[in-house]
Structure 1
C-alpha cells in the first residue's frame, strides 16, 4: 500500500512539474496595436487623406503598406516596388497577406511573387496579380514608391513598429 501511495505521489508531482513547465514556456502574446490599410468606414478618398502625412522623406526605415490602383501583374508590382530595400509581404485580393523572402540566385521579385501565387493556387486560391505589398524602407524610398505608376497609396507605420505586431487590411481603391 505504501508503494502505491508513493507511486501516486510521484506521478502527481511529475504531472504538476510538467504543467508548471508548460506555463513558464508559454510565448508572450503579440498585440496588434498598429494597423495598416483601410478602416471599414473609409472611402478611398478618406483613406488617401488620412495616410498622406504618414510619409516623410527624412523618416527612418519603417514598415509601410503599398496599395495599387488595381490588381497588378507580378512584373508591374515588382517594378513599382523597386525603390524598396525590402518587400516583406504581398497582398492578394481576398486572402491574408503572404510573407515573402527577397529573391536569391537568378530570381527577381516578380519570380518570388509568382511562386507565392503558385503556392496559393495549390490550396485552391488562384491569383494572377497582387493588390499591395508590405515593404520596409526609409521615408525617401517610400516617397519614390508613392510616385510610381500604378501606386494608389503608401501608408507608413511608426519606425518602432515590429514585424508581426501590426494588422494589415487590404485597400481597394474602387
Structure 2
C-alpha cells in the first residue's frame, strides 16, 4: 500500500490478469475534496463500456488477422493448414462474429444509449475472448509461449470481459431495458 500525495488517500496495487494494464484499489479516508460539479456515474460507466466494446473489437480483429496469416504459412502434410476444411469453417464462423462485433461497436460509439451499449458489451466481450482462444489454439504450441504475443491478447480479452460488467450482466440489463421477462 502506498500513501497518496494528499493525506487520507491510499493506493494498493492488486494483481491483474492483463499485465500490460495495472490495476489498483484507491481508498479515500477523510481525504480533502472539493465538488467539481454534477456527475452522472451511470453515464460515465456506460461511455466507458461503449469504448471498451471498440477495444474488444480491435482485439478480435487482430486475433483473426494474425491467425489467418499464420494458417496460410504454416504447413502440415505438405499443405497450408488453412486449406483444411475444418479450420476454414472455424475461421469463417469467427469472421462472421467479428463482423457482428464491428456493427455492435459502431452502434455503441454512434449512440451510447443504454440499449446499444448493453448489446455491444454482451456480444463483443465474448467475441474477443473467443477470437483470442481460437488464435492461441490455431497457432499451436507457439501460441502458448512468450515468443508470440497472442497470449497477451487472450489476457486482454479476458480482463476486458469482466472490466465493466460481464456479458451476462449486460444481457440482464438489456432484458430489463427492453422489458423482456424470463421464464416464469
1 or 2, which has the higher strand percentage?
A: 1
Asked if Structure 1 and Structure 2 have the same fold, meaning a TM-score greater than 0.5 normalized by the shorter chain, the answer is no
- When the two structures are superposed, what TM-score results if normalisation uses the length of structure 1? 0.26
Larger Rg: 1
